[in-house]
Chain A
Amino acid sequence: KQEVTQIPAALSVPEGENLVLNCSFTDSAIYNLQWFRQDPGKGLTSLLLIQSSQREQTSGRLNASLDKSSGRSTLYIAASQPGDSATYLCAPGPLMGGNKLVFGAGTILRVKS
């Protein structure tokens, strides 16, 4: 059974800092991994999708890496802004069983202006 852990659980940083969010998962039989953002009381917004054959994926100030064999992914946010404040969730997609995602509890990020 896939288990996902995200560290840290919460993070508060001043505007402009570069930061790293960590995601670890127990079952490396994954097809891909998605990172999502969730604002309070809202749904999830997809940020990045990394295929299992990829090592990195970039979108703007976001860069996600994947080390499938060690069961780790990181989300790097460059030059953080107050608008980045949200909960960040990672979800590995299983090799079998469709796109049934398993989520961690997320990292709550606060960027102070």
Chain B
Amino acid sequence: DTGVSQDPRHKITKRGQNVTFRCDPISEHNRLYWYRQTLGQGPEFLTYFQNEAQLEKSRLLSDRFSAERPKGSFSTLEIQRTEQGDSAMYLCASSLHANTEAFFGQGTRLTVV
């Protein structure tokens, strides 16, 4: 296993379009997290899953954002009707259990033009 994998690495989209990102966690990890990071800031929590259940969503996650983790494996994060303020790095992380070491992917850099 090569760690947490995210796809695509970069995405440029026009304002108003929908985008979807994928995250493949480390295979035995049952916890999966999404974070967003803007320039010069640390990552901010968006949502997390335990297996296929989405347990918490941040207030940052507006109605235009939706995340899924079917079958408790990979996860997708969809942003509908993108806005310029959505431009950021979207990071995925996984951990074996709660309170164990978190491992991050390389992120998806979204640019909304």
A interface residue numbers (CB < 8 A to B): 4, 31-32, 34, 36, 41-46, 49, 89, 91, 93, 97-106
Contacts and interface: CB of A to CB of B under 8 A. Distances in A.
A98 B55 contact: yes
B41 interface: yes
Nearest to A103: B42
14 contacts: A42-B106, A43-B6, A43-B105, A49-B101, A89-B42, A91-B42, A98-B99, A99-B33, A99-B98, A100-B48, A101-B33, A101-B93, A104-B42, A105-B41
Contacts, number: 66
Contact of B95 (A41, A42, A43, A99): A99
Given A42-B107, A43-B105, A99 B42 contact: no
Given A41-B109, A98-B31, A46 B91 contact: no
Contacts of B40: 105
B29 to A, nearest CB: 10
Given A4-B42, A104-B42, A34 B99 contact: no
Interface of B: 4, 6, 31, 33, 35, 40-45, 48, 50, 55-56, 91, 93, 95, 98-107, 109
Nearest to B44: A103
B25 to A, nearest CB: 12
User: Secondary structure at chain B's binding surface: helix, strand, loop or mixed?
Assistant: strand
A46 B93 CA distance: 11
B98 A44 contact: no
B101 A43 contact: no
A98 B42 contact: no
Contacts of B104: 36, 43-46
Given A98-B31, A99-B33, A44 B43 contact: yes
Contacts of A93: 99, 102
Contacts of B4: 43
A32 B99 contact: yes
